[in-house]
Amino acid sequence: MIEVEDVYFTYPNGVEALRGVSLKIAEGEFVAIMGQNGAGKTTLVKHFNGLLKPTKGRVLIDGVDTKQVSVAKLSRKVGFVFQNPDHQLFSETVEDEISFALKNFGFDNKVIGERVDWALNLLGLARYRKVSPFMLSGGERKRVALASVLAWDPKILILDEPTIGQDSYQKERLRQFIIQMNHQGKTVIIVTHDIEFVVECEPRVILMSNGKVIADGEARKVLTDPDLINKSSLILPEITQVFINLNDLGFPRDVMGVYEAKRLILERLKKT
Amino acid sequence: MSVFDGLKFRNISSPIHEIDPRAKFIYVCVLFVTAVLFNQIIPLLFLFFLQVPLVIIAKVKREWLRLIKGSIFFAVLIFVMNVISLYFYGNYSSIAYVIEHSLAMTIRFIVLIESFSLFFLTTSPDMLGLSLEQIGVPYEFCFAFTTAIRFVPVLAEEAQIIIDAQKARGLELEGGNFIRRVKNYIPILIPLIVNAIRRSLELAEAMESRAWGASKKRTNLYVLKMKRRDYLFILLSFAMLLISIYVWMYVEIPFLYQILQI
């Protein structure tokens, strides 16, 4: 359970990144945080594992104030995968890279071995076990970074811009993977611009603009609202754009999925 | 804001910012030489206070004070080392002399720091590169120099992200003995260095695709031109140098403790 209570955050250089954010994320929820560049998305999620502490207000993780515990301690519960894998990869082999965090958290060697195997298989990296992470492609490096966080099985998983630099096949795999994690009871939070990706996931969407939450609700409600989407410099999902244009013909406006769209169109075609 | 902001260019307009970098550089050199020339406290204090009005005119008081605050640790170190070495190994006449001499050395250090600070706070890296170029330094070196300065803040920002990313993987930076602490920095240094190399290769490619080094004779959009004000500034700097040398050679500078009769 993540509780954010009226949080303000100002960077040392004076930029006010969060201006009164309050929200609750329950256990096992799947949340997408969206908004334009500089809206405060990354700043907000960096509060969830204590990398940033609120200037005003407070953040509670399972009832514990993030100001009271170290980042390393919180990270045991809250896994954070950074946007750019190059900011964290440093080991000689993929295997070492994945066991780094496990060693930091003090797992014993036997458990580390099992966890590394598990994470490598989960993300299809088993054949790169002994390869240097620096030799891998961008997408593979991103998966190594993800594996290195998943390995310690955090309860809450935060992914910052997970789809950047991934081809559509990898995106689809990532989506299924995220949904699988979520079904297993993990809280998953993604920060992204990729509206089509979010449409396919149908999570709860939190829309941010200028350091404030401007909308919070089901993907279908938030992402098909042209005013909200416009305010956060996003573009409506393509299917929604089509259906808004077809509104005169009696089609609903809040459609975003491909299959739903197909069904509605077929129904109409059968009637005529 | 960190201590290093005291060495980072502040893009504001002030009479000091407008002085030609070469003239300012001469002034800093003169200040340097003068500070090293004297080891009595009175002229060094004079040099210290000489910069205060310049800093106020340049509107960089805050950054300048921060740098001085940041250098206090080293200043104290220098003071203590001087006191210890003079007290135990030197032949001194009185304890007041030991203290005054050590204080003078400390102020000399601060004068050196603050003159550097004033120069970098008021001179943009571009202008600095340009002036290097115009005094005949090969363009390759000037470019390397300005690029190096320009990338310092980028690297600092990146280092912070890497620290965050590794902390999020359970890395504890504080605590442990010395070797442990050094080892803790490996996960930060490797990505930082790898990324810096990657970035420099990218930069090289980007520059070559924009025809870097295509023509031997390169012209600049801006050309630095010394104005009367700049010459005056240089003249004043030299006058200061001459006066200092004169004082250094012919004037007996009293000790403060003798004047105050401690």
Mutate to test the interface with A, among B169, B185, B197 (most CBs of A within 10 A): B169
CB atoms within 10 A of CB B232: 12
pTM reported for the whole predicted model: 0.76
Q: What is the pLDDT of residues A237-265, one digit of tens each?
A: 999 999 999 988 889 988 888 899 999 99
What's the one-letter identity of residue A123?
L
Q: How many helices (H) and strands (E) does chain A have?
A: 11, 10
* Residue A73: closest C-alpha in chain B: B170
pLDDT at B58: 87
Closest residue in chain A to residue B159, using alpha carbons only: A87
Mean per-residue pLDDT for B170-188? Answer: 82
- Cβ separation of B167 and A152 shorter than 8 Å? no
Domains of chain A: 1-77+154-222 (3.40.50.300), 85-151 (no CATH), 237-272 (no CATH)
Q: How confident is the model at residue A18 (pLDDT cuts 50, 70, 90)?
A: very high
A59-88 pLDDT tens trace: 999 999 999 998 988 999 999 999 999 999
Report CA torsion sign: A9, B191, B148, B73. positive
Inform me whether the pLDDT recorded for B3 exceeds 70.
Answer: no
Interface of A with B in 233-252 (CB under 8 A): none
In this structure, which amino acid lies at residue A6?
A: D
Residue B1 has pLDDT above 60, yes or no: no
- Amino acid of residue B79: F
A140-179 pLDDT, tens digit per residue, is 999 999 999 999 999 999 999 999 878 888 899 899 989 9
Are A104 and A132 a contacting pair, CB within 8 Å?
A: no
Domain-wise residue ranges, chain B? 3-123+226-260, 138-209
Predicted pLDDT at B262: 61
Distance from CA of A35 to the nearest CA of B (A): 21
Confidence of residue B157 (pLDDT cuts 50, 70, 90): confident
For B167, the closest of A71, A84, A86 (CB atoms) is A71
Cα–Cα distance measured from residue B201 to residue B193, given in angstroms and rounded to the nearest whole number: 12
Radius of gyration of chain B (CA): 23
Check: CB of residue A88 under 8 Å from CB of residue B169. yes
Write down the pLDDT at residue B39: 85
The set of residues, in sequence order, having a beta carbon less than 8 Å from that of A161 and lying 6+ positions away, is A83, A191, A192, A193
Q: What share of chain A is helix, strand, coil (3-state, %, to 5)?
A: 45, 20, 35
Q: Where is pLDDT greater, at B112 or B3? A: B112
pLDDT mean over A231-240: 91
Residue of A nearest to B162 (CA): A87
Which residues of B make CB contacts under 8 Å with A? 1, 158, 161-162, 164-172, 186-187, 190-191, 194-195, 198
pLDDT tens readout for residues B57-96: 888 888 888 888 888 888 999 999 988 888 888 777 788 8
Contact B187 A90 (CB under 8 A): yes
pLDDT of residue B4: 65
Instruction: Specify the long-range contacts of residues B254-259, CB closer than 8 Å, at least 24 apart.
Output: B254/B42, B255/B40, B255/B41, B255/B97, B255/B100, B256/B41, B256/B42, B256/B100, B257/B94, B257/B96, B257/B97, B257/B99, B257/B100
Tell me the chain A residues in contact with residue B167 when contact means C-beta distances shorter than 8 Å: 51, 71-72, 75
Q: Rounded to an integer, what distance in angstroms lies between the CA atom of residue A181 and that of residue A185? A: 7
**B143 Cβ contact list (under 8 Å, min separation 6):** B129
Share of chain A above pLDDT 90, in %: 77
Which residues partner with A32 through β-bridges?
A190, A205
The answer to whether residue A23 scores a pLDDT higher than 90 is yes
Q: Longest C-alpha distance within chain A, in Å?
A: 68
